Structure 1
C-alpha cells in the first residue's frame, strides 16, 4: 500500500481556485455601473447577498448602501443566485451591481466570477451575511488581498455549521448582532480571528410614538411580525390569545405579518385556528414593506421566538411606542434589559404569555407606561450608530 499525506482542505481549495483561473469565464453578466464619480483614494467595498428578498438583514443592507459615506467608500453589490424584491432599490444605491446567476448550490462559475470581479475592481473589503456567500467569498478570495468580514444574522446547524466554522475562522472579522449571539457562537465552537458586536439599527426618524385612546369599544389588537418558520413559534402566541378568548375577552384581535419560509408552520397555525374555531379573531397580512403602517394598527406587540440572534422587528415595534412582551431568550432580554423596558414570559409558555397580555389589557396606565419605556429604549438602536461602528471596522481592518 502506498503511503500518502492527505491535503489540508484549504490546500485543496487553493488548487481548485488555481484550476478555475485557467478557465475562460462567460457565464455571468458584467457589473452594471451605477455611478461615474471620481473614486480615487476611496475604500472599495463589495457586499454580497444571495437574492435580496424582503427580510431584516436585506433591509439593513439597503440602509448600508444608502448611508455609508460615499466620499470615503465606493460600494459594490453582488447577488449570487437571482434578483429579489429589494434588488431594484439596491441597484439604485450601489456604485456597481451584478448578479452571478448561481445555478446550483455549489457553482464553480460563480466562484470564478467573484474572483475576477474582486481582482478587476481592486476590492479591498468583502462583506457577507450568510453562510453560503461566505463560502463562495472565502474560496474566491484565496490569494487576493481583499479583507473578509461577515455579519452573522442567524444560527445554522448540521454540515452547514461545520462549513461555516471553517470559513469564518479564516475571515478577518466576524460581526455579531448581539452580545448573546456572540456568546452562543463561541459556545458552538466558532473560532473567528476577531469577534465584535454591533447591534442592528433602524431609521428612527421614520417612527412615531403611538397615542393610546380611552375607547372601551375599540378592539385590542395584538400583533407579531416575522416569517412563518419554526423558530418564530407563532403557536405560542396563538395559544395565548385563544386562552384569553375562552376567558371571555372577545374584543381582541391577533394580526400576523410576514411571509412563509416553512409551509408546515403556517399549516399548523391554520389547523389550530380551524380546530378551535377562532378564525374571526385572527388575520394575516403577508409580506409587507410598509411596516410603519402595520405597527400603527397594534396596541401590544409580542415576540414569541424561541431562537434569534437579535430582534430587529422587536426594536421597530418599540420605536413605534408599543408595549412589548417577549419570550425569555438572551437577545430579547438584552434588548429589554431583563424586564426594564418590557414584559417577558418563559418561551413556549402560552399560559404565562396570556397572563402578561391580560395584565396590560386590564391596566391601561401600564400599557402606556411600558409603551413609553419601549420607545425610550429604541433610541439606542439607531442606524446612524450602526453605520458609524461599521465604518470604523472597515478602516481598522485595513490598517
Structure 2
C-alpha cells in the first residue's frame, strides 16, 4: 500500500511558482496511487476556487486552516494582531495538523516552503518523518530563515532545494552532515497552440510588482524608440508599483503599451510572433521562463540566480545584466531585427526542453525518498510534544476574542444588565457617554479580564472637568489603573450640576512588544526607578533632618544646662546678700 502523505502548502493559491509546482507533484503522486492530503491557510484569493477544484479532481483531501499568520513570525507580511494572538494561532495550527496526522494515519509530512514550520513540529510531535522543500534564496525578505537552518536540519528526514544556484548556496550554509538533494519545480503545461500573428510584440507574463521589475522593461522600450512594436503586460499588479509604471509612461509620452490584467490561461494571449521578456530582481527557478521555452517563444531574461539556473538547465533564453537598461535595449533590438533566427532557435530549444523537462525527472530525488523508509528526524521535540499544539485553542477563544467596555447606568440605586451601553475596546480611545435622565452614578467595566491602563479619565464635556472615582477594584497610581484580577470596575459619582454629556478616555499599556517604549514592564520599571530615587532623596533628607534634630537637641541641652547654672547662681546666698547691699546703697542716693 502506498504511503499516506500530508503536504503543508504556503498559500493555497495558484499565483506563485512554488504552489503551482507542488500542486503538480501532489496530482502526480495521487495519480500514482499515493493517498495525498493537503493543509493550506484559508484565504479568499481569486485563484482559490481553481486551486481547490484541481486538487479535488485528483482525490486530494484538503484541509483549509484559519490562521492569523501562517508563515514564520519574522517572514514578510505584517498582520494587525497582537503577538499573543499570533502565538495562539500557531499553536492552533499545530494542533490541527497533529489531529489530521492521527485521524488520517499520515506516514509522511512534506512542508513546501522554508516559510512554514507547523508541519515539522506536528510531525515531530507525532513521530512521523518530515521533508522540507525549499524554494527561496535566504536573501532580502527571506534572509531571516538563515537562522532557522539548524532547526530545519534537525527536524527533517530529508531536505530538498531547487536545482541550480539555490541548491549550491544552501549546500554551503547547512552543516556538512546534512545531505541536501535537489529538485526542479515542474509546471504542467497543457499543449498550447499559440495564436497566429505576423505582428511582432514584446510580451511580459506575470504579476506586475517591484520584484518582477517591469519598469526596467518599460525604460528599455523607451530607449528602443520603436513604438510600432506593442509592449504587452499580462498579469495583475500591485497598485503602488503600477502607479510608478504609469507615471513613467505618461512622463515620457510612451504609446502602444498595454496592460491586459490577470488571465487564467495567459499563454492563450501570446502569439507565434511574440518575444517574452522577464526582468525579475530575484527568482529561484522561474516557471514562467520554462513555460515560454516549452511554448517555443524567444525569451530575454535578467541574469538573476534563478534565471541562470533555468537557463543552464534548458540551455535556452538570452541573458542580460540585471539593471543594465542599455544592454536590455540592445537585446530587444537584435531580437526584433533578427526575429526569424531567434524563432528558429527557440523552436529547436522547445523540442529539447520538452524531452528533458518531465515530472518524473524533475522530482526524481523526492520520489526516491518517498519510496524509501525515511526515519523520524528528532526525538527532542517528541519529548516535549505536550507543550506544542496539544490544546485546542478554539475552545479558548475568550482569550483572543474582541473585548468590550461596558458602562452601567444606575437606576433606583442599582446597576443592571437592562441599563447599560457597550463599546468595543481598542488600544486607546475616547468614548462619548450620554447619561439617562436622573442618573448620577455609573459603573465602567473595562472588559471582563485582567487589564492594564496607562491612563483612564472621565470628563464632563459641558464643564471640561475631570471626575475622580468613588470606587475601583484596581490599583491606582497617578493616572494608571492596574487590574490584576478579572472583572475590572470603576464607579463614578456624576452630580446633575455637571450635565449629562461625558467622555471616557483610556490608553492601554503595551503588553506584548518588549522593545516598545510603552511596554508595561518598561513603564512600571521606570516608575519603580523614579520612586526608588525619590525614596533615596527622602532618606537623604531624613538623615539630614535627624542630624539637624540631634544638633538642636544638643543645643537645647546646653541652653538648659546654662539656665540651670544661672538659676543656681542667682539663688545662692553669695549672690543674694551682695545684691541686697547694692540695692540698699542705690536707694540712699
Per the normalisation by structure 2, the TM-score is 0.54
The equivalent of 1:227 in structure 2 is 207
The equivalent of 1:103 in structure 2 is 68
CA contact (8 A) 2:293 2:346 kept: yes
Q: Render the CA deviation track for 1:194-221: whole Å, top value 9, x for unaligned.
A: 311111223355245x6987x4xx3x21
Give secondary structure in 2 for the equivalent of 1:288. Answer: coil
Bigger Cα Rg: 2
Q: Render the CA deviation track for 1:232-287: whole Å, top value 9, x for unaligned.
A: 21121111111112xxx221111222233x44333222221121222x32212222
Q: Call closer, same or farther: CA 1:294–1:389 in 2, change over 3 Å.
A: farther
Q: Identify the match of residue 53 of structure 1 among 4, 9, 13.
A: 13
Q: Render the CA deviation track for 1:14-69: whole Å, top value 9, x for unaligned.
A: xxxxxxxxxxxxxxxxxxxxxxxxxxx22010112244222222222332232225
Structure 1 stretches lacking a partner, 5+ long: 1-40
The equivalent of 1:184 in structure 2 is 169
Q: Identify the match of residue 288 of structure 1 among 263, 268, 276.
A: 263
Give secondary structure in 1 for the equivalent of 2:312. Answer: coil
The equivalent of 1:152 in structure 2 is 134
Q: Call closer, same or farther: CA 1:267–1:211 in 2, change over 3 Å.
A: closer
The equivalent of 2:281 in structure 1 is 306
Q: CA RMSD in A?
A: 2.7
The equivalent of 2:228 in structure 1 is 251
The equivalent of 2:41 in structure 1 is 80
Q: Call closer, same or farther: CA 1:205–1:81 in 2, change over 3 Å.
A: closer
Q: Call closer, same or farther: CA 1:364–1:329 in 2, change over 3 Å.
A: same
Measured after TM superposition, the shift of residue 141 of structure 1 is: 2.2
The equivalent of 1:398 in structure 2 is 374
The equivalent of 1:24 in structure 2 is none
Q: Determine the C-alpha separation between the residues in 2 that align with 1:384 and 1:204.
A: 15
What does 1:193-272 align with in structure 2 at a 5 Å threshold? 193-203=178-188, 206-208=191-193, 215=198, 218=199, 220-245=200-225, 249-260=226-237, 262-272=238-248
Give secondary structure in 1 for the equivalent of 2:230. Answer: strand
Say whether residues 1:171 and 2:136 are aligned partners.
no
Structure 2 stretches lacking a partner, 5+ long: 71-85, 376-589
Q: Determine the C-alpha separation between the residues in 2 that align with 1:65 and 1:334.
A: 24
Give secondary structure in 2 for the equivalent of 1:392. Answer: helix
Q: Which gives a bigger RCO, structure 1 or 2 (Cα 8 Å, sep 6+)?
A: 1
Q: Determine the C-alpha separation between the residues in 2 that align with 1:256 and 1:136.
A: 37
How many residue pairs match? The answer is 347
Q: Render the CA deviation track for 1:369-398: whole Å, top value 9, x for unaligned.
A: 332243134222223433554322211353
Measured after TM superposition, the shift of residue 297 of structure 1 is: 6.4
Give secondary structure in 1 for the equivalent of 2:125. Answer: coil
Measured after TM superposition, the shift of residue 299 of structure 1 is: 1.1
Give secondary structure in 2 for the equivalent of 1:61. Answer: helix
Q: Determine the C-alpha separation between the residues in 2 that align with 1:233 and 1:184.
A: 23
Say whether residues 1:131 and 2:114 are aligned partners.
yes
The equivalent of 1:44 in structure 2 is 4
Per the normalisation by structure 1, the TM-score is 0.78
Q: Call closer, same or farther: CA 1:286–1:184 in 2, change over 3 Å.
A: farther
Q: Call closer, same or farther: CA 1:338–1:242 in 2, change over 3 Å.
A: farther
Q: Determine the C-alpha separation between the residues in 1 that align with 2:281 and 2:54.
A: 32
CA contact (8 A) 1:172 1:193 kept: no
